[in-house]
Amino acid sequence: MRVVFMGTPAFAVPTLAMLLVRHQVVAVYSRPDRPSGRGRRIAQPPVVRAAAEAGVEVRQPATLRGADAVSRLQGDRPDVVVVAAYGAILPPDVLSVPRHGCMNVHASLLPRWRGAAPVQRAILARDAMTGVSVMKMEEGLDTGPWCLQESLPVGNRTAAELTAELAAVGAAAMERALDGLDAGTLEWHAQDETRATYAAKVTRADVALDPTLTVEQALARVRASGPSAPSRLSIMDRAITVLTARRHDGWVLPGMASCERELVLGVADGAVRLDAIVPEGRSVMSAEAYVRGARLHGACEWGPA
């Protein structure tokens, strides 16, 4: 089939790779380049780099609204538009262009966690299962009917780990969905609006650490964190970003940190041991190395950064 692909982050790359092998990809749309990393240098999205390596035409319009954008897409004569984390809502004029509509691979079991941050929200809510849904796009936000869903345990995966796994699962699901579309065997299922939840973009406040949290809440916040919303705390007025942590079997008074060779935080119902951290203005290091270098001894107060 003739396919136009729309995607931006690394999550979308496996689906693009599948399409390049199985179908005729006539154009790839991605969001414009933007500053990234600590140096805020302009960087191309992962999908742009992957498409360029494959020799496919790449377009990065600021908007898909307007007659020119619609006319250009019509000129591609797509049988279907495949979308994976494009990062913008498609206007009705775009949705109506492809013969078979626009199909999206979304990183949740819809109708749970519609929206921008389904992986992080599943972790923060401590869901046992998540997955991917292949759905037909309509004007609402992730409201269209779905044809395939694949489940995956959340476990103790970080948002980055879970996103990478879901990207592979989503690419395979989209492959099967397109085969069914081509054969005319797809069955579409309406979403149950009474079960819908919204996955708002995760903020720093959503993943901030403080002593009132339970162990499971604190660990979920660490796993759901990332570069745009880091999980942070303060020890003795020193800000620290936490990358990895685990449950500690001992007991530490909530709001206190045990700083004897390792760094253990007291929370509401137990203790959390920090593993990999980033002290403010420094690079990644182990919590043990930080304790030695900062010369912390005994018990220290800790709280929100």
pLDDT tens for each residue of the chain, 305 residues long? 999 999 999 999 999 999 999 999 999 999 999 877 666 688 899 999 999 999 999 999 999 999 999 999 999 999 999 999 999 999 999 999 999 999 999 999 999 999 999 999 999 999 999 999 999 999 999 999 999 999 999 999 999 999 999 999 999 999 999 999 999 999 999 999 999 999 999 999 999 999 999 999 999 999 999 999 999 999 988 999 999 999 999 899 999 999 888 999 999 999 999 999 999 999 999 999 998 887 777 788 999 99
Quick one: 254 and 291 in the same domain? yes
- Decide the pairing of beta strands 2-7 and 231-235: unpaired
Task: Give the pLDDT score at 17.
Answer: 98
Domain count, the chain: 2
Residue 168 main-chain phi, psi, to 5 deg: -70, -45
3-class SS at 208? coil
The CATH number of whichever domain residue 296 belongs to comes to: 3.10.25.10
Q: Where are the beta strands (DSSP E) in the chain?
A: 2-7, 24-29, 34-36, 41-43, 58-59, 80-84, 102-106, 114-115, 129-136, 146-153, 198-199, 231-235, 238-242, 245-248, 256-258, 264-267, 270-274, 276-279, 285-286, 299-303
Quick one: 133 and 262 in the same domain? no
Task: Give the pLDDT score at 52.
Answer: 96
Q: What is the pLDDT of residues 160-177, one digit of tens each?
A: 999 999 999 999 999 999
Of 199, 221, 240, which marks where a domain is finished? 199
209: left (phi over 0), alpha (psi -120 to 50) or beta: beta
Quick one: 30 and 179 in the same domain? yes
Task: Give the pLDDT score at 294.
Answer: 78
How far apart CA 181 and CA 104 sit, in angstroms, is 13
Task: Give the pLDDT score at 46.
Answer: 97
Quick one: 159 and 175 in the same domain? yes
Quick one: 134 and 175 in the same domain? yes
Quick one: 209 and 294 in the same domain? yes
Of 174, 199, 224, which marks where a domain is finished? 199
The whole domain housing 224 covers: 204-303
Of 183, 199, 215, which marks where a domain is finished? 199
Task: Give the pLDDT score at 277.
Answer: 98
Task: Give the pLDDT score at 127.
Answer: 98
Quick one: 182 and 223 in the same domain? no
Task: Give the pLDDT score at 39.
Answer: 62
Quick one: 159 and 248 in the same domain? no
Task: Give the pLDDT score at 58.
Answer: 97
Quick one: 280 and 218 in the same domain? yes
